[in-house]
Structures are given as structure tokens and as C-alpha cells.
Amino acid sequence: MATRTQKDVRQRLDELREQVDHHLYRYHVLDDPEISDAAYDRLFDELKAVEEEHPELVTAESPTQRVGAPPSDRFQKVQHLTPMGSLEKVTDDESLFKWAEDVRKRLDSDEPVAYVIEPKIDGLAINLTYEGGRLTRGATRGDGVQGEDVTVNLRTIPSVPLKMRGDGLPALAEVRGEVYMPLSGFRELNARVAELGQKLAPNPRNAAAGSLRQKDSSITASRPLAVWVYGMGARDGVQLASHWEELEWLREHGFRTNPFVERLDSIEEVAQRCTQWERRRAELDYEIDGIVIKVDSLEQQAILGALHSRPRWARAFKWAPMTAETTLNKIAIRVGRTGALNPWAMLEPVQVGGVTVSRATLHNEEDINRKDIREGDRVIVQRAGDVIPQIVGPAGPHVKGTRPFRMPKKCPLCGANVVKPEGEAMHRCPNRACPSRGLETLINWVQGPADIDGVGEQLMRRLWHLGLVRSLPDLYRLTKEHLLELDGFAEKSASNAIEAIEHSAKRTPFSRVLLGLNIPDVGWVTAQSLARHFGDVDRLAGATQEEIVEVEGIGPERAEAIAEWFSDAENQKLVDELRELGLRFEAGPEERPVEGPLTGSTYVITGTLEGFSRDEARKALEAKGAKVGDSVSKKTTGVVAGESPGSKLAKAEQLGVPVLDEAALKKLLRG
């Protein structure tokens, strides 16, 4: 083979660097890769090999040069060219509107004010200095005037450009952003660290900060860090009129800007969005602690100026903290409809994120003792999204005289000896006649499968304690006169409730009735499959284990449990009584699979989708004839994976089942 001339080598190196850079950008900045990881690795390896042969041709911006700087003893202090300020906060609509009013007064003009809103990323602020488009320095915020030079570490983060993209690059630009660790990466890192028996990082923010301040940049490189950029500091050769244009400019020059930034024309819309984001934040794969609101026009920003390095043109809308400290008064036990003993915490009422919290879930004995919390202790409670509050752990040392928690030996409701089956985490009451099962089944029924308007947990508890309703058939035998005996019921409200109950008997589809009967391990997917497959309860009740196994997604163990449930005389009586009372035990048209372009295919949905809830995605797929299952097998046609997908994605990859992202799902639904 003829040796390549120096010119050929240079040309090939340029090509390779451009390609590697391009694919890094597609993957880490746009989140939209064009080639497989393996194809990328081949390009990168070739680049490395050519550079190793020609060390004289290696440049600082080559993608191979992100890692490998020698470990440093300490970080140099560096001065930011323009200071990095901080944000004044607002905590509610009232203070937000007051700020907008102040902005208007100070601007003293009829010109409209537009706002840009951005997620306030809970990571750490950094300042990237580019000269002639090349990254020459990266620093932490420090005290806002002086930070630490962490250039070698920042260079290892793939979403930090070493070189700006495009032409006509400015002589100077300070680019500001936030380095963070995605939640998925944080969980993986902690799992890895736990395996090594090392200390876990308490939260993603600390993990990101610790990773960025490593003396050895190869450790930083091994950490899943990313950056969102949100603004600029000093600049020379960049002429822009608004913050929105600034973000656009940054995006065009290869920086990763957050996709959720929005430009809004009124402060009312801003307020609305801030409220929405308090709920939506749980869907993100990174933590945000508020929304940053900025006056868009740079001219208006200049007029407004700053006070004590806090710009008057920006505010951080911060939500009430999602954690609080309180006393764990008691660990109570609730016996579920399957007999499981569920411990829960009775707390001294405390405000968490604007809501009073007085109870929290606890999973089981092991979980309680692993968290090392005891009745009487001070504890930290946390509320995340819409979920039931949880106890994170103790707030300090144990209160004197407290003792570790032990599950009761006897069922608190019926006194039966509690059992803990091998390999299970839960303790159970084995008594099938235990009163708790009946009550919990009823509560679940009215709230879930039958979804009866105006009949909820409170009413079911009252009816139960009065002995008026002790079983599902009792509920459908209830009369208006019964309800009128209860405090708080009048003619109208009593007939409404009875009507709602009667209506539910006629309306609740067979599959939902099955779901509410408490057959072991029958969730909604299985209930639907059973309803579809057998068509009515007689065929289902008469089916053998072998026949039930034929239903897709049901294994021999579950099939046996289902067959056993239907062979029990009491359960047969229950079904008969409910049927006589008018409940539906035949599959209706809503259970019949729709014939459509996707008939014959099975999908599984995992993770959070942006444009739909999982239930909506399921319905949309079913409307096209697809089946939607809840576990991945070789027979699964595809797995739809949203943000933070779980083990189902791993399973799909392992089995070679195709994975669809949200865009692919939309395309599939459009046909």
C-alpha cells in the first residue's frame, strides 16, 4: 500500500474529526443520533489510530482530546469577564405580578414586555469562555466574580462544544449554563457505587458538583454529566436584540439549549406555566427547582439593570420545598384486599410543598428498618409530583426510648396469626374471611373498576361500620332509605348516590367487573385478555388451567390461581349474586378488539411520554387494533419508550424487540 502523503493524512484527519464532532453533536446536543454506537466507535477509533501515528497533527479541539489531561493538584482561581449574578425569587402569583408591575413602572413606556421562561436546572452554574470560537476556559461560578478553572473537566462533557459550529465566529463569548446529572445517570451511578460499597451521593446536584471537581479528569469523564446553556456574559462580535435571539444564536452555534424554553407575551401566561411546571417537573429526567423568568428585550434589560448583582429583569419562580421535617407519631397497619399488611406513617401534620401532610406510605418491615426510622423519631418527609408522601429517613439521631419497628404477630383486624411467605417482602393475614379484605375490596371497587360518581372511601367506611354494606352484593342492594339514615344525606343526595350505584351495575364492562373481584394477580391487562378470550364468565369459570394458559401473557402459575379462584364455592356464590343484581358478566363491544391496521401486533409502553399519558397512548394503540401488554416477551412487536424508561427497555434490548420513541409512536399511529 502506498504511504499516505502528509496532505492526505491531514485531509483524512479533518474528515474524521468533522464526522466524529457531527455525531457527538447529534447524539449529545440534539438528542437525535444518526448512526449506531458501533459505527460511531469505528470512526472514533480510526481517528485515534491516525492521530497516534501522527502526534504532530493532534489539535486541542480534536474530539480525542476531551479526556487525558494530567491530573491537577488544585484548581486555579479565575476571574469571570463579567460577573455571574444570582436570581431574586418569587414564590407565588402575587409576588410574580408585583414584579411585573415594578418592571412596567421602571420601563415607563407603552412598549409591550415579553418574557422568556426556562426550567431552573438544579445543578451548578458554569462559565465557558470561547475565543475565536474555541473553548479556552471553563470555570465554576464561585462567588460570582471569581470561580475555579475546571476547563479540563468541562472538556470531558460531550455536550460542551470544544469549538463553536458555523462561520463568522465571534472574537469572544462567555457562554453560561448549568451542568447537571440526569436522574437516570444518577441512579446508575449510585447503583455502581453501592456495589463497590462506596458512599452514595445524596442527590444529583451533589453528584454533579463532586464529579466536576475531580482532580483526575478521567473520573469526570466516566460520570454521566450534561449541560444546558441559558445565556451569555461578555461578548465581542455578537449583536443580538433579545434573550430569545441569544438562545437561538447559541443553538445555531452548537450549544445545547433546553427544549422547554418559551417566549410568552403576558405575565398571566407566565403564571399559568409556572403552576403547570410544578406538576410536570416530575416527568423530566433532571431536577428543576423552579422556573426562571426573564424580560426578553436586551434593551429593556439594560434599562432595568441590577440590584446587588441580582438582575431586575429576571426572577426565579420557586415552588415551596418538597421536603419537611416532622415527628413520626405512629406506624399504623392497614390490611389490604389481598391480606397484605401495609404499614403507613401517622405524622405530626406538616406543610410540604404547600400541602398539609399527615400520613406517608411505608412499604414493609424491611424498608422501615433499612431507613432506620422508629415511632417517635423526627423524620424527613418528601412529596414528589402527585404521589403519596414518603419518608426519606431520620432527621437526626433516634429519640431516646424508641425501639426498632416490628410487624405485629397477629392481624390487627381479625387476630389471625400473620404469615410471611418465603421470598416475599410483605407480611400477610391468611384469613380469607378477615373483615379488612371486604372493606378494602369495596373501597377499591367504588374508586377503581366501577368508578361510582359521588361514592368514595369515606362513605364506604361509614356503610361498612354501620353494617349496611359488607360485600359487593350488599352495595347493589342498598336503598335510598338506608342512606337517609346517615348524617349528611338528604332526599336528593341519597337518590343521586343510589342512581350512580345502579348506573354502575349496568355500565361497568365485564373486564372491569373481573378486575374488581380480587382474583389473585389479575390486573387490568389480564382482566381484559380474559374477558376477550372467554367472552363470558361461564366459559371462564369452567376453564381448566391448560385452557387459561392459552390466553396471551398468562403463565401456568397465574392460570392455576385463576382456576382455583373460580372453583371456590364462595366465589361462585359471589359471581351468581352479582349477576342476579344486574352486573355484566359478558364481554361487550368495548372489549372486543378493534380491527385496524395494527391488528395482530402487541406493544408495551414504558417511561414518560411527553404528548400523551400512558393510558392515552394505550387507548390510541388499541383503537388501531393493537394489543397493549404489560410485560415484554419475544412476541412483543415493539416497546414504546418515553423518558426514564425502566427495566422493560433493557428487556426489549436484550430480546432484540424493536424500541420506538415518541416520534416513532406518533408516526405509527398516523399510519
Which residues are identified as catalytic? 120
How many residues at the interface with ligand IVH, by CB under 6 A? 15
CA 202, 208, 214, 219: dihedral to nearest 10 degrees?
100
Q: Which residues of 235-267 are buried (b: 16+ CB within 10 A; e: fewer)?
A: beebeeebbbebbebbbebbbbbbebbeebeeb
Q: Are the C-beta atoms of residues 631 and 650 closer than 8 Å to each other?
A: no
The residue within the footprint of ligand IVH, chosen from 59, 65, 72, 86 (CB under 6 A), is 86
CA-closest candidate to residue 125, choices 172, 79, 175: 175
Instruction: Name residues whose C-beta falls within 8 Å of residue 547's C-beta, 6 or more positions apart in sequence.
Output: none
Residue 183 CB, nearest approach to ligand IVH (Å): 16
Distance of CA 52 to the CA centre of its chain: 43
The residue within the footprint of ligand IVH, chosen from 13, 24, 96, 121 (CB under 6 A), is 121
Q: Are the C-beta atoms of residues 170 and 237 closer than 8 Å to each other?
A: yes
Site for ligand IVH, residues 126 to 155, rule: CB under 6 A: 141
Tell me which stretch binds ligand IVH (CB under 6 A): 79-87, 204-212, 347-355, 534-542. Answer: 79-87
Instruction: Name residues whose C-beta falls within 8 Å of residue 130's C-beta, 6 or more positions apart in sequence.
Output: 136, 164, 169, 170, 172, 173, 174, 175
Tell me which stretch binds ligand IVH (CB under 6 A): 82-90, 248-256, 355-363, 368-376. Answer: 82-90
CA-closest candidate to residue 513, choices 448, 580, 568: 448
- Should residue 179 be labelled a site residue for ligand IVH when binding is judged by CB under 6 A? no
| Helix (H), strand (E) at residue 295 | strand 288-295
Binding characters for ligand IVH, 429-468, by CB under 6 A (x = yes): ----------------------------------------
The residue within the footprint of ligand IVH, chosen from 35, 44, 61, 85 (CB under 6 A), is 85
Residue 125 CB, nearest approach to ligand IVH (Å): 3
The residue within the footprint of ligand IVH, chosen from 128, 274, 292, 649 (CB under 6 A), is 292
Q: Are the C-beta atoms of residues 125 and 229 closer than 8 Å to each other?
A: no
- The residue (of 257 and 529) whose beta carbon lies closer to ligand IVH is 257
| Helix (H), strand (E) at residue 140 | strand 134-140
- The residue (of 144 and 582) whose beta carbon lies closer to ligand IVH is 144
**Rounded CA gap, 62 and 341, in Å?**
60
Three cell numbers, residue 288: 428543576
The residue within the footprint of ligand IVH, chosen from 16, 64, 103, 118 (CB under 6 A), is 118
- 567: three-class secondary structure by DSSP: helix
Residue 231 CB, nearest approach to ligand IVH (Å): 6
Residue 177 CB, nearest approach to ligand IVH (Å): 8
Give me the amino acid identity at 509: P
Tell me which stretch binds ligand IVH (CB under 6 A): 117-125, 213-221, 330-338, 559-567. Answer: 117-125
First to last CA, the chain: 51
- The residue (of 116 and 483) whose beta carbon lies closer to ligand IVH is 116
Q: Are the C-beta atoms of residues 591 and 537 closer than 8 Å to each other?
A: no
- The residue (of 121 and 221) whose beta carbon lies closer to ligand IVH is 121
- Should residue 120 be labelled a site residue for ligand IVH when binding is judged by CB under 6 A? yes
Distance of CA 659 to the CA centre of its chain: 19
Pairing status of strand 638-641 against strand 602-606: parallel
Residue 299 CB, nearest approach to ligand IVH (Å): 17
- The residue (of 311 and 435) whose beta carbon lies closer to ligand IVH is 311
- 90: three-class secondary structure by DSSP: strand
Site for ligand IVH, residues 223 to 252, rule: CB under 6 A: 230-231
Sheet with 638-641: strands ordered across = 627-629, 602-606, 638-641, 659-660
**Rounded CA gap, 640 and 648, in Å?**
10
- Should residue 313 be labelled a site residue for ligand IVH when binding is judged by CB under 6 A? no
Tell me which stretch binds ligand IVH (CB under 6 A): 42-50, 119-127, 192-200, 357-365. Answer: 119-127
- The residue (of 119 and 638) whose beta carbon lies closer to ligand IVH is 119
- The residue (of 126 and 668) whose beta carbon lies closer to ligand IVH is 126
- Should residue 178 be labelled a site residue for ligand IVH when binding is judged by CB under 6 A? yes
- Should residue 311 be labelled a site residue for ligand IVH when binding is judged by CB under 6 A? yes
Tell me which stretch binds ligand IVH (CB under 6 A): 83-91, 278-286, 319-327, 530-538. Answer: 83-91
Phi/psi region, residue 393 (left: phi>0; alpha: psi -120 to 50; beta: rest), is left
Residue 118 CB, nearest approach to ligand IVH (Å): 4
Tell me which stretch binds ligand IVH (CB under 6 A): 116-124, 210-218, 408-416, 577-585. Answer: 116-124
Task: Give φ, ψ of 584 to 5 degrees.
Answer: -90, 125
- The residue (of 120 and 627) whose beta carbon lies closer to ligand IVH is 120
CA-closest candidate to residue 471, choices 446, 488, 453, 496: 446
Where along the sequence are the contacts to ligand IVH (CB under 6 A)?
A: 85-87, 118, 120-121, 125, 141, 178, 230-231, 292, 311, 314, 316
